């Protein structure tokens, strides 16, 4: 059987899990049962977003923890329902402690987006895309045309 075409869990290795738990709580995100300062997760639109100590994740994944947090070249995205929601969500994230990276703006690809970083530098794109469709859980069910 081939590997299924799905994304089930995104795990981010973090240095200060209590700090990140406070940040995501300030966004209003609900932790799943069993979350604590050793591992925590949030069910977001059908995907589990997990935070795990960076050293332990690196050991499992056969990697090394960089000496200082740096941008990995990966962004996570939260798509919103309307173009005007980008600015509202951006402002809410900054109030919760996110670092503003790029102010809301209309993009060449026809949508609108902004970027913030969580307190450890994980980049989040807050985006509105004209062809994005969601189910009642907020899971992406279609994109484009």
| Residue pLDDT, tens place only, 103-122 | 999 999 999 999 999 999 99
Q: Quote the pLDDT of residue 66.
A: 82
Q: Quote the pLDDT of residue 69.
A: 74
**Tokens 């989040």 label which residue?**
124
Q: Quote the pLDDT of residue 145.
A: 67
Q: Looking at the DSSP assignment, which residues form a beta bridge with residue 125?
A: 77, 115
- Pair 61, 94 in one domain: no
The pTM of the full predicted model, rounded to 2 decimals, is 0.92
Tell me which of 24, 41, 65 is where a domain ends.
65
Helix (H) or strand (E) holding 100: strand 99-106
- Residue 139 resides in a domain: no
Domain of residue 34: give its range: 1-65
pLDDT per residue as tens, the chain (145 positions) = 899 998 999 999 999 999 999 999 999 999 999 999 999 999 999 999 999 999 999 999 999 988 877 788 899 999 999 999 999 999 999 999 999 999 999 999 999 999 999 999 999 999 999 999 999 988 999 998 6
Token pair, residue 108, equals 């060449």
- Pair 11, 48 in one domain: yes
CB 7 within 8 A of CB 47: yes
- Pair 60, 77 in one domain: no
- Pair 80, 106 in one domain: yes
d(CA 106, CA 94): 19
Q: Looking at the DSSP assignment, which residues form a beta bridge with residue 49?
A: 10, 42
**Three-state SS annotation for 4-49:** CCCCCEEEEEECCHHHHHHHHHHCCCCECCCCECCEEEEEECCEEE
- Pair 2, 59 in one domain: yes
Q: Quote the pLDDT of residue 70.
A: 78
CB 39 within 8 A of CB 51: yes
- Pair 46, 26 in one domain: yes
> How many C-beta atoms surround the C-beta of residue 50 within 10 A?
18
d(CA 128, CA 76): 14
| CATH number of the domain that residue 36 is part of | 3.10.180.10
């Amino acid at each position: 059987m081939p590997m299924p075409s799905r994304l089930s869990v995104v795990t981010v290795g973090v240095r200060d899990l209590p700090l990140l738990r406070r940040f995501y709580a300030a966004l209003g995100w609900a932790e799943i049962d069993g979350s604590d300062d050793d591992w925590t997760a949030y069910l977001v639109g059908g995907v589990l977003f997990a935070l795990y100590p960076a050293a332990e994740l690196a050991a499992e994944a056969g990697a090394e923890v960089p000496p200082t947090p740096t941008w990995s070249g990966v962004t996570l995205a939260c798509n919103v329902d309307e173009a005007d929601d980008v600015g509202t969500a951006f402002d809410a994230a900054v109030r919760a402690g996110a670092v503003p990276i790029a102010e809301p703006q209309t993009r060449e690809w026809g949508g609108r987006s902004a970027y913030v970083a969580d307190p450890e530098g994980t980049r989040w794109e807050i985006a509105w895309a004209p062809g994005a469709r969601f189910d009642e859980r907020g899971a992406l069910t279609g994109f484009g045309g």
